[in-house]
Amino acid sequence: MPVSESLRLRPYIHSLDFETIRKWITEPREHAMWCAERTAFPIVGESFCALLDDIAVRCGDAPFVVTSRDGVPVGFFCYSVNIETKEGMFKFVMVDPAERGKGYGREMLRLAVKYAFEFTGADRVKLCVLSVNAGAKRCYESVGFTYCGTDEGAFRYENEIWDRCHMVKGNDRICGDSV
């Protein structure tokens, strides 16, 4: 069965999903690439809930998981939409490391983009990725996201300086800062 026929998108449920997804990021550097240190490492329930609450209140983000056909989470992301500008924004995208390289990330993003366009009325969707996260950049490009700007030196991790790359998918592919 193709990966696209086996994945399901549903809201994140902390009591069901947290214990699974908290195990996906095991290294501090990987954690920094995922969340730019917006929550503690290792991920703990209280700080993760605080992060989700913060972005829900400030930006309208909602967390989602993508599950395999048998209901096991294989991916996670947050999404918000600005109704006025019809721009969606993806944040905190992650895939179970045991499932990477199998097409789950690509299919998760395809489902997420479909949800954004068809259910929330977005005309375009955006995301940011740190310059050192080559695997994520390749995944986003494979789904049709294109670069639309870079914030040079936006994040420091130990003795490294990383750029924040903005990517967009949609008809006009204009970046913008409204989400």
Average pLDDT of the chain, as a whole number: 93
Average pLDDT over residues 132-160: 97
Work out the burial of residue 53: count CB atoms within 10 Å of its CB; fewer than 13 is exposed, 13-18 middle, 19 or more buried. Answer: exposed
**Given this model, what pLDDT does residue 179 score?**
38
Q: Between β-strands 124-130 and 87-95, what pairing exists: parallel, antiparallel or unpaired?
A: parallel
Residue 172 has pLDDT above 80, yes or no: no
- Model pLDDT for residues 2-41, shown as the tens digit of each residue: 565 789 999 999 999 999 999 999 999 999 999 999 999 9
Residue 42 has pLDDT above 70, yes or no: yes
- In angstroms, the Cα distances linking 147 to 13, 44, 80, 130, 173 are 32, 33, 20, 12, 9
Residue 117 has pLDDT above 90, yes or no: yes
**Given this model, what pLDDT does residue 178 score?**
42
pTM to 2 decimal places: 0.93
- In angstroms, the Cα distances linking 102 to 2, 3, 50, 155 are 10, 8, 32, 30
- In angstroms, the Cα distances linking 113 to 90, 118, 125 are 9, 8, 7
Q: Which residues pair with 76 in a beta bridge?
A: 65, 94
**Given this model, what pLDDT does residue 6 score?**
85
**Given this model, what pLDDT does residue 3 score?**
63
User: How many angstroms separate the CA atoms of 179 and 177, rounded?
Assistant: 6
Single-letter amino acid code for the residue at 97? P
- Model pLDDT for residues 43-102, shown as the tens digit of each residue: 999 999 999 999 999 999 999 999 999 999 999 999 999 999 999 999 999 999 999 999
Domains of the chain: 3-123 (3.40.630.30)
**Given this model, what pLDDT does residue 18 score?**
97
The backbone torsions φ and ψ at residue 28, rounded to the nearest 5 degrees and listed phi first, read -60, -40
User: How many angstroms separate the CA atoms of 15 and 170, rounded?
Assistant: 34
Radius of gyration from C-alpha coordinates of the chain = 15
